[in-house]
Chain A
Amino acid sequence: MIRSLLCLGVAALAAVLLALALGSVTIPPLGLLDVIQGEGTALHRTLLWDLRLPRTLAAFATGGLLAVAGALMQVLLRNPLADPYVLGLSGGAAVGALLAMLAGMGTLLISGSAFAGAMLATVLVFGLAHGTGSWTPSRLLLTGVVVAAGWGAVITLMLAITPSYKLPGMLYWLMGDVSYARTPWPPLIVLALSIVLVLPLARNLNVLARGPMQAAALGVSVRPLEWTIYILASLLTATAVTTAGSIGFVGLIVPHMLRLVLGNDQRIILPACALAGGTLLVLADTLARTVIAPEQLPVGVITALLGVPTFLYLLHRSR
């Protein structure tokens, strides 16, 4: 099992190197080595250190955050098809971000507004689902789906009344775009901290996946654990959305694919999600930058186009 994590780690490193080398100007492997050693041409150095490395790291962190958040939500709701996006988190974030864009605010305020929107959506869904005190997965899921539909309507309304010159930026944000990332450090730090925090809980999550009663009978304090997971997954999603807009499918597909291959031990799945989610988004972002270079595609389109067929194939093969 450690070996599969090592493999994923090597794959992640390879993906990062590929992302650093490829782009509108391709840096050959030797050039890459030169730049890492502090030599190389000024162009290569600028490309690597100022442009590609921050963007690649941001993509890696975002992908990792989304995949881990997805895996946590799936255990919480005991539904392998749950996803932070299904619960309306991205909708709230999108409304926040679009409001900031409509008001003509800068990137930092857009990020802040998106984060606030995601957290508002979390509180809203949780508050509504909690309602009379019973908090069942199906109720949480349904509340999330309905609230997400509500956010969708608000987004459409906002797009309809927006002056057309502002529309492209908004659409790119809605489809997810890593070029919004200013610095990769906040999401990277959040990702690393969350893995450290969640690993000692991983065996509890294995038991929780068997249902809350069984978990309680095996000594798990179910309610505090569920709260922790919900808040953590929300924070991870909010951080990811704030970094790179709303990117779908990573949180759904990466944990599911890993489960089909590695089984459902969260002690393996959670770190594997961080690595594989990061790798997937780095590759998707590299494609998005290069496929019609110098033009760029929103990375969310790529993750959906890559993710959906892969998911269907794995599902088809598994039974």
Chain B
Amino acid sequence: MSKLRTRDLVINVPGRPDGYALNMDIEPGQTWGVLGPNGAGKTTLLHTLAGLLPARSGRVMLNDTPLAQLKRRDIARQVGLVFQERQDSFPATVMETALIGRHPWLSPWESEQADDQGRAQQALALLDVDHLSNRLLNTLSGGERQRVAIATLMTQNPSAWLLDEPTNHLDLHHQVRVMRLLRKQANNGKTIFMCLHDLNLAARWCSHVLLLYTNGDACWGPADSMLKSSALEKLYNQKLITVEADGAPVFVPVSS
């Protein structure tokens, strides 16, 4: 169980005034969605929460310890991140990729054991890419690669999951599958925090929402109180129609 808290956190988006400082409590069992237009700082926030970027001011606390005081390896056992962009300069198979998730758990002389293999296999199966496990990553489609990245995070098995647009490149069925998987992980005590571009996925699957504005303003809270069409129209500078379907609001952009 990992609790992420931000205290007076101002993320470092170059050339932007400080805006509104973030004081969030991201608890186990919650599923957070970060919404905002391009360039609002969603990815920067995610990287700051993972301790990969320094904040402009304020702190990120992981279970009451400031992130800056923890070793990288200890952070990696508790906080994992799915990046929006990935480098693959060298060829690697799907299985090898999933297995690097075990890195923070193994000592320098250790190699992956049957248990690690099993975890990777299970994660690949849950993401529906286990049949690709011997394929080279650069021969996969964008959506398949995205699922491998999520499976790698699952193999890493941290208690806080940060995901940068996890539904990118995914077809409809796999979008739902991934969101259900994340929600299930939250119900099992994981802390889920992700950037999303799809309002309707956020409305359906997120318990909490953070709205990030381009000028640095922000507001956050339970999803149903945040997902108001007036706030979202201001956020994206786009008129919306709201309808209700399957027990959740559905936001449709107005064409004019």
Do the beta carbons of B111 and A220 come within 8 Å of each other?
no
Cβ-defined partner of B93 (8 Å) among A78, A220, A263: A263
Asked whether any CB of chain B lies closer than 8 Å to the CB of A182, the reply is no
Residue of A nearest to B107 (CB): A200
Residues of A near any B CB (own CB < 8 A): 75, 78-80, 200-201, 203-204, 206-207, 209-211, 213-214, 216-221, 259, 263-265, 267
B145 to chain A, nearest CB (A): 12
- Chain A residues with Cβ below 8 Å from B87 are 78, 210-211, 214
Q: How far is the CA of A176 from the CA of B38 in the complex (A)?
A: 54
Q: Is the pair B72, A203 in contact by a Cβ cutoff of 8 Å?
A: no
Which of A79, A216, A218, A267 is in CB contact (< 8 Å) with B89? Answer: A79
Residue positions of B touching A, CB distance < 8 A: 47, 50, 52, 71-77, 80-81, 83, 86-93, 96-97, 100-101, 103-104, 106, 108-109, 111, 156
Q: Which residues of A contact B80 (CB under 8 A)?
A: 217
CB distance from A80 to the nearest CB of B (A): 6
Closest to B153 in A: A217
Residues on the B chain within 8 Å of A214, using CB: 83, 86-87
Further pairs besides A200-B108, A210-B92: 15, Cβ < 8 Å: A203-B106, A204-B108, A206-B103, A207-B100, A213-B47, A213-B52, A213-B83, A214-B86, A217-B76, A218-B100, A219-B76, A221-B71, A263-B96, A264-B96, A267-B111
B90 touches A203 (CB 8 A): no
Given contacts A200-B109, A203-B103, contact A209 B77 (CB under 8 A): no
Contact B109 A210 (CB under 8 A): no
Query: How near does chain B come to A238, taking the closest CB pair, in angstroms?
Result: 26
In whole Å, how far is B29's beta carbon from the nearest beta carbon of chain A? 23
Contacting pair A221 B72 (CB below 8 A): yes
| Complex partner residue of A80 from B83, B89, B106, CB under 8 angstroms | B89
- Report the minimum CB–CB distance from A137 to chain B (whole Å): 9
Contacts known (A217-B80, A217-B81, A220-B72); A209 close to B104, Cβ less than 8 A: no
Taken together as a complex, chains A and B put the C-alpha atoms of A117 and B102 apart, in Å, by 42
Question: What CA separation (Å) do A79 and B87 show in the bound complex?
Answer: 11
Cross-chain contact B90 with A80 (CB below 8 angstroms): yes
CB of B76 to closest CB in A, whole Å: 3
When distances are taken between beta carbons in the complex, the residues of chain A under 8 Å from B76 are 217-219
Instruction: Given A80-B90, A201-B108, A209-B89, answer yes or no on A218-B156 (Cβ-Cβ < 8 Å).
Output: yes
Report the nearest B residue to A74, measured CB to CB: B90
Q: Is the CB of A218 within 8 A of B103?
A: yes
- B86 engages A210 (CB within 8 Å): yes
Q: A219 near B72 (CB under 8 angstroms)? A: yes
Residue contact B52 to A217, C-beta cutoff 8 Å: yes
29 A-B pairs with C-beta separation under 8 A: A78-B87, A78-B90, A80-B90, A200-B109, A203-B103, A207-B100, A209-B89, A209-B92, A210-B92, A210-B100, A211-B86, A211-B87, A213-B52, A214-B83, A216-B52, A217-B50, A217-B80, A217-B81, A218-B76, A218-B104, A218-B156, A219-B72, A219-B76, A219-B77, A220-B103, A259-B91, A263-B96, A264-B90, A264-B91
